[in-house]
Structure 1
């Protein structure tokens, strides 16, 4: 092969390589954009907002098509008093944990045995806790400032969640008070995880006895159903500063990370309360008479 032919062949080879490289760059960028687009957010009307979660991925279809979705409104006229539910049967204990900025929320992940919740003979181990602001569940249409979810999992992979509602008050939440330095460390650092030592979930749970119970779903994609929900009736206090700390720590667009209320679709909502006030008892009696 002569020098001219060799040069022409080398030039053609370089051009072909350049064309392949230029084609690969948009493909890689497109893949990155697709991955970003698959993330969900809480911005109403956005392509990745709550009303569109079900169409982002096939495995998230429940978010749109499910008939037992959460959260819901705990409307008084739909609630039935069920004393047979009994007191919550849980045995929590201090355990090693870490705090994680998941972008859409702040989560405490238990790395040790933090105890369990027993419902109808099934044990659900406490796995993690995270916060939503404002609250996801509403009571008679009222949305509270914040909601804590204590997420449990059974040996069969089924979920049970305890939800605790908060309103802004002068008294800070003691559980969050202990976590504040760690929340600051991971603020605005998506996927950042920090060890926080031993955490006592009993401080988060509190001692209130009355609760609502219904069957629902996870409130984030994939919105899996069959979740046993327990919403503590007593509303707790969180300071405005603590609430702002949680909101500022998450990724932009998730400061308000509450999914809209979903249709009840004729599901039962039960209430356990050890002692009813006279007025509440009369209210339930009136509802039964009018039924």
Structure 2
């Protein structure tokens, strides 16, 4: 059956409008579009000027990362932990140029927040940490990115952040080291890592910060539910060096500067 160009255009328009997640809500994969160098013309201070779809990077009022402080949060006492239901799934390790990421190629489980289920999609690392706790910036930060297709959900993306200080090797990263090593400076290359179990990340959600923010890379989409574990884990210096060595030179320190809270509600949730 032939469909006129007008009808086809209308269908495409409706698909974009009605789809639960805008095509511009996703993290930009092409790192040539931006960098982390201050004053380069493509650095964090200029992201919002590079493409109209990235305007939130400069003009948004709910941007991430932010300064987390025990003295500037609402303390919420809850006995129930954040609901997580992860499971092993085939994964690939990708050098995206601006970071190293793990993409799960199927059902790796999910988290549940206020009745909304967010399936796990990918995880990636920033060094040094993007968020700070009580003024301290840590050596590494892991972001576990989840995304729901529930049309009734107010927020479509949820990210769990885990901070790391230098100490013992991180077991989850240790299993990925062989794959990451082969990806040093290999932009957009990837390696099949077999079954990757997200439960081995071992983040603690007994006590955590919670706020509504944004993606920390373009297009800086807002309305992201952030959960930052208060428990700081350890990572070896060699592991941090490998993550920095693998990416492009401009991303060896791939942390976006802290953003204004604009008097947002920030909660510290725990028993």
After TM superposition, list the pairs within 5 Å mapping 1:1-291 onto structure 2. 39-84=33-78, 86-156=80-150, 158-169=156-167, 171-274=168-271
TM-score by length of 2: 0.85
What TM-score, normalized by structure 1, do the two folds share? 0.79
> Residue 37 of structure 1: CA displacement?
10
Tell me the C-alpha RMSD between the 2 structures. Answer: 1.5
User: In structure 1, the residue corresponding to 2:249 is in which secondary structure?
Assistant: coil
State how far apart, in whole Å, the 2-side matches of 1:191 and 1:199 are. Answer: 20
Deviation, structure 1 residue 77:
2.1
Cα deviations by residue, 1:38-93 (Å, 9 ceiling, x for unpaired): 61111112100000000000000000000000000002221111124831101000
In structure 2, how many angstroms separate the alpha carbons of the residues matched to 1:189 and 1:85? Answer: 45
Could you tell me how far 1:142 is from its partner in structure 2?
1.1
| Stretch deviating more after TM superposition (75-84 or 226-235) | 75-84
Shift in alpha-carbon separation, 1:38–1:59, aligned structure 2, 3 A: farther
For the Cα contact (< 8 Å) 2:101–2:123, is it kept in 1? yes
Unpaired segments of 5 or more residues in structure 2?
Answer: 1-29
Q: Provide the aligned length of Structure 1 versus Structure 2.
A: 238
Distance in 1, matches of 2:32 and 2:228, equals 30
User: What is the CA–CA distance in structure 2 between the aligned matches of 1:48 and 1:159, rounded to whole Å?
Assistant: 25
Q: Which runs of 5+ in 1 are unaligned?
A: 1-35, 275-291
Extract structure 1 runs of 4+ deviating beyond 6 A.
none
Whichever of the two has the greater Rg, that structure is: 1
Identify which of structures 1 and 2 has the higher relative contact order when contacts are C-alpha pairs closer than 8 Å and 6+ apart.
2
